């Protein structure tokens, strides 16, 4: 192995190309680094911090850190696992993630990563914030309760759909996703079901109407294999059936 173009990840040599981040090279080599706001199709955001790894003794976000020859990267130490667990626990208590009642259960990346990390409880006190549901769109329901503000829909709408339907507004606990429409409702925006922004959501925040529980719990993506094997939900989440617009609200 040419060590000029490799770094070590948990003791394994990982080859990388010019311009690769640690995450890029690791995923290409089949090594899973937990992540939520990262999607290889988009420029890294580095906001969820779940992809934290130990690089030569420092904790760094692997989705934004350029790979360099000879780096020693630890993706599995107790300290890294505990840090990721705390980040996940904060996400769970900050929103209202009622997995047993969520249509995305079994196909949700947040839930799957929590299982992968071994998070057994939220540990922290739940905020139980009051957040709304926007059902104004004919084909899509938006659950603010479940949004983890990963920004993937924002990037997809801007970079692929060329619409900029979504933006993150506010700060801290008051941050929320907002929609570019005259009345601020999703139904008044340019969003269409076929948009990339609809398919990238890693959790159950952007959900199709009419198809809620089509795939039974127990037969969904991460029910059969862990996220470390299956990968991101976005590649698998698009419903195959054609959509039936509910025009009754119009
Ligand atoms: S709606 Fe989904 S994709 Fe968009 S910011 Fe929230 S969690 Fe991320």
Q: Which residues contact 174 (CB under 8 A, 6 or more apart)?
A: none
The model's pTM: 0.90
- Name the 3-class secondary structure at 55: strand
From the CA of 173, how far away is ligand 1's center (Å)? 15
The per-residue pLDDT for range 98-151, each reduced to its tens digit, is 999 999 999 999 999 999 999 999 999 999 999 999 999 999 999 999 999 999
Whether ligand 1 lies within 6 angstroms of the CB of 206 is answered as yes
From the CA of 196, how far away is ligand 1's center (Å)? 12
What's the confidence (pLDDT) of residue 174?
86
Whether ligand 1 lies within 6 angstroms of the CB of 153 is answered as yes
Strand order in the sheet with 133-134: 133-134, 140-143, 206-208
Q: Report, as ranges of residue numbers, the positions in the chain whose pLDDT lies below 70.
A: 1-3, 233-250
Q: Which domains does the chain have, with CATH numbers?
A: 98-249 (3.30.70.20)
What's the confidence (pLDDT) of residue 3?
60
């Amino acid at each position: 192995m040419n060590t000029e173009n490799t770094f070590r990840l948990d003791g394994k040599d990982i080859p990388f190309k010019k311009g690769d981040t640690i995450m890029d090279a690791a995923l290409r080599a089949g090594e899973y680094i937990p992540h939520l706001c990262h999607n290889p199709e988009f420029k890294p955001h580095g906001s969820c911090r779940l992809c934290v790894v130990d690089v030569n003794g420092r904790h760094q976000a692997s989705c934004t850190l350029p790979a360099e020859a000879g780096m020693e990267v630890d993706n599995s130490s107790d300290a890294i696992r505990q840090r990721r667990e705390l980040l996940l626990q904060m996400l769970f208590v900050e929103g209202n993630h009622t997995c047993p009642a969520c249509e995305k259960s079994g196909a949700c990346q947040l839930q799957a990563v929590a299982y992968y990390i071994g998070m057994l409880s939220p540990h922290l006190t739940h905020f139980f914030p009051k957040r709304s549901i926007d059902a104004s769109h004919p084909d899509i329901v938006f659950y603010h309760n479940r949004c983890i503000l990963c920004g993937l829909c924002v990037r997809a709408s801007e970079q692929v759909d060329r619409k900029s339907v979504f933006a993150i507004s506010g700060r801290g606990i008051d941050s929320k996703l907002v929609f570019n429409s005259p009345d601020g409702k999703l139904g008044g925006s340019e969003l269409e079901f076929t948009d990339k922004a609809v398919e990238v959501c890693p959790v159950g925040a952007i959900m199709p109407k009419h198809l809620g529980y089509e795939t039974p719990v127990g037969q969904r993506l991460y029910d059969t294999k862990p996220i470390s094997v299956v990968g991101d939900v976005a590649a698998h989440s698009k419903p195959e059936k054609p959509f039936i617009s509910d025009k009754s609200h119009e």
